[in-house]
C-alpha cells in the first residue's frame, strides 16, 4: 500500500472563540493521561462523489466543528490549562494506491493501517510541550472511491469517548444536521482538581523503539461466539451473567495466565481496566463532555490462584473491580489528591523492577463510532491504530453484538497466544469484513 500526501493545512475554527472561554482548565485525569494520541480510522464504501466535492465539504465542516471543540484548536499553556487561541488543527489529505479498499480491510495489519494516520500516535516525550498539536485528521482517498478518515486527538484533552463525540459531531455537521450538543465543554476540575505533577513523570509510558518488537493483532469475537462464551463463563459461583466485556476479558486473561504460568516473574496476576466515569457520577456527567473522564481500576487475584484457570472467577474479579467505581468511591478517591497519590506510589513500585505481570484492558464498546455518517453512509469498519504491550483494546463489531479486540504482545507471547485452545475456539484471526 502506497500513501501519497496531496495536501496539508491548518484549519481554524469557523468562528472565533470568545475571550472568556480562552482558558480551558485541565483536571487531574487530563494531567495524568499518557503522552500519546488517541487514534481512530473510519472506513467508508466507495461512493459516486468526486474528490473535490468531498474535500471542500469536509474542510468546511471540520472548521465548523472546531467552534464547538475549541480547546482542540488551541495550545498547551502550562501543566494546568490550554490556551484556546484558535491556532487551528491539522487537516491532511492523501491518495492511497492499494487497489480496492476491501483489500486493506481484509489484511487489517496495524503497521499498514498506521500509514493512514496523520502522524505517529506516540507523540513526544512530554505532554507538557507547548507546541504539541491537539488534533489532526487525515482523509485518505482510495482509487476505488472508498474513503478512510483518521483522527488523532492528544490524550491530555480527550479519552476514547471524546474521540467518538468529536467524530460524530463532525459527521453530523458534514451531513447538514444542526442537532449538535452544547454540552461538550464541562469543567472537570470541579470533580477532579488538578495537582502539581512536577515530581511525577509519564515520559516512559511509551517507548516507540520498543514497540517495534510488539505484535498488535486483531481477534474477532462475533456475536454468536460471544453469546456462547458468556454462557460458559457465567457457569460458576462468582458471577451469574457476565457482560460481553467481562466474558471476553476473562478468556484473554486465562490465555495469558496459561502462556506466562511457567515463569513466576512474569506470570499474569493483575488486570487493569479503564472505566468511563460519566454515567457513574451523581448527577451523571454529559456523555458528550470532552476531556478525560475515565480512570483505571485494578483486579488481582492471590498468587495461589495464578496457576488455577477459572474463567468464572476471573470474570467475577473484573466485575467486582468495575462495579466498585461508583459515585461515592470515586469522590472519596479523589478527595485530597488520593488518586494521584495512588498512581504515584504505583509508579514508584513499577520503577523498582520489570512490571510484566499486569495486563491492561481499554473498552471502546458502546462508543458510537459506527454512527459517524458524513453524508455518504455509515462506516463499514472502524479501528483503533494503537500498538501497546500487554494491552487489549475492544471495539464493537458493526452489528453491536460482537467484539473486535486488538491485542498487543511480544512476538514470543503472541505465537503462544494464537495457539491457545480457548482462543482458537472463540476468536477468528483473519475475519472477512
Report how far residue 430's alpha carbon sits from residue 433's, in angstroms, rounded to the nearest whole number. 9
Q: What are phi and psi of 318, to 5 degrees?
A: -60, -45
Give, rounded to a whole angstrom, the gap between the first and last alpha carbons of the chain: 18
Report the distance separating Cα 121 and Cα 116, nearest Å: 11
Task: Give 308's contacts (C-beta < 8 A, 6+ positions apart).
Answer: none
Q: Quote the CA–CA distance of 274 and 157 in Å, as a whole number.
A: 16
**CA–CA distance, 69 with 88 (Å, rounded to integer):** 11
Residue 324 and residue 306 in contact, taking contact as beta carbons nearer than 8 Å: no
Cell of 147: 474513503
CA 209 from chain centre, in angstroms, equals 21
19 is catalytic: no
Distance CA 26, CA 15 (A): 23
Measured between alpha carbons, how far is 90 from 10 in angstroms, rounded to an integer? 5
User: CA-to-CA distance for 405 and 221, rounded, in angstroms?
Assistant: 8
Which residue, 307, 347, 299, 357, is CA-closest to 323?
A: 299
Given 86, 100, 109, 373, the catalytic residue: 373
Within 216-310, residue ranges assigned H as helices are 223-233, 244-260
CA angle, 411 then 149 then 368, to 5°: 85
Cell numbers 495486563 correspond to what residue? 359
Cell numbers representing residue 379 in the block? 462506516
Euclidean distance between CA atoms 386 and 36, whole angstroms: 9
Residue 336 has a CB neighbour count (10 Å cut-off) of 10
Active site residue 203: no
- Of the residues 155, 319, 334, 413, which is catalytic? 155
Give the span between the Cα atoms of 313 and 242, in whole angstroms. 11
Helices 244-260 & 411-418, crossing angle to 10 degrees? 110
What is the DSSP annotation of 178-211? ----S-----GGGTS-----TT---TTS--HHHH
Rounded to whole angstroms, the Cα distance separating 386 from 395 reads 13
Distance CA 360, CA 268 (A): 11
Cite the active site residues. Answer: 155, 373
Amino acid at each position: 500500500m502506497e500513501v501519497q500526501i496531496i495536501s496539508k493545512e491548518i484549519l481554524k475554527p469557523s468562528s472565533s472563540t470568545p475571550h472568556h472561554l480562552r482558558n480551558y482548565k485541565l483536571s487531574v485525569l487530563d494531567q495524568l493521561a499518557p503522552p500519546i494520541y488517541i487514534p481512530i480510522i473510519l472506513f467508508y464504501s466507495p461512493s459516486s462523489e468526486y474528490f473535490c466535492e468531498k474535500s471542500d465539504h469536509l474542510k468546511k465542516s471540520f472548521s465548523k466543528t472546531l467552534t464547538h471543540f475549541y480547546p482542540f484548536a488551541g495550545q498547551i499553556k502550562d501543566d494546568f490549562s490550554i490556551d484556546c487561541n484558535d491556532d487551528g488543527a491539522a487537516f491532511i489529505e492523501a491518495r492511497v494506491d492499494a487497489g480496492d479498499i476491501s483489500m486493506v480491510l481484509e489484511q487489517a495489519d496495524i503497521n499498514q493501517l498506521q500509514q493512514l494516520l496523520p502522524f505517529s500516535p506516540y507523540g513526544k516525550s512530554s505532554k507538557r510541550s507547548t507546541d504539541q498539536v491537539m488534533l489532526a485528521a487525515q482523509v485518505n482517498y482510495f482509487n476505488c472511491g472508498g474513503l478512510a478518515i483518521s483522527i488523532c486527538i492528544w490524550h491530555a484533552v480527550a479519552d476514547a469517548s471524546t474521540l467518538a463525540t468529536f467524530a460524530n459531531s463532525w459527521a453530523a455537521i458534514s451531513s447538514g444536521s444542526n442537532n449538535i450538543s452544547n454540552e461538550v465543554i464541562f469543567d472537570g476540575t470541579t470533580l477532579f482538581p488538578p495537582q502539581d505533577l512536577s515530581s511525577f513523570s509519564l515520559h516512559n509510558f511509551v517507548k516507540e523503539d520498543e514497540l517495534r518488537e510488539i505484535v498488535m493483532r486483531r481477534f474477532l469475537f462475533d456475536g454468536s461466539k460471544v453469546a456462547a462464551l458468556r454462557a460458559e463463563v457465567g457457569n460458576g459461583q462468582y458471577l451469574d451473567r457476565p457482560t460481553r466485556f467481562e466474558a471476553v476479558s476473562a478468556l484473554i486473561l486465562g490465555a495469558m495466565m496459561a502462556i506466562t504460568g511457567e515463569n513466576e516473574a512474569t506470570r499474569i496476576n493483575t488486570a487493569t481496566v479503564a472505566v468511563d466515569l460519566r454515567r457513574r457520577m451523581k448527577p451523571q456527567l454529559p456523555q458528550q463532555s470532552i476531556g478525560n473522564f475515565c480512570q483505571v481500576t485494578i483486579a488481582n487475584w492471590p498468587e495461589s490462584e495464578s496457576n488455577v484457570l477459572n474463567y468464572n472467577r476471573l470474570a467475577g474479579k473484573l466485575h467486582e473491580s468495575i462495579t466498585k467505581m461508583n459515585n461515592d468511591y470515586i469522590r472519596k478517591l479523589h478527595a485530597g489528591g488520593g488518586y494521584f497519590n495512588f498512581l504515584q506510589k504505583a509508579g514508584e513500585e513499577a520503577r523498582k523492577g520489570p512490571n510484566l505481570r499486569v495486563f491492561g484492558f481499554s473498552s471502546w464498546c458502546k462508543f458510537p463510532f459506527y454512527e459517524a455518517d458524513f453524508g455518504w453512509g455509515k462506516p463499514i469498519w472502524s479501528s483503533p491504530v494503537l500498538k501497546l504491550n500487554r494491552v487489549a483494546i475492544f471495539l464493537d463489531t458493526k452489528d453491536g453484538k460482537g467484539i473486535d479486540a486488538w491485542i498487543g504482545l511480544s512476538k514470543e507471547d503472541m505465537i503462544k497466544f494464537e495457539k491457545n485452545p480457548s482462543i482458537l475456539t472463540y476468536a477468528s484471526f483473519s475475519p472477512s469484513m
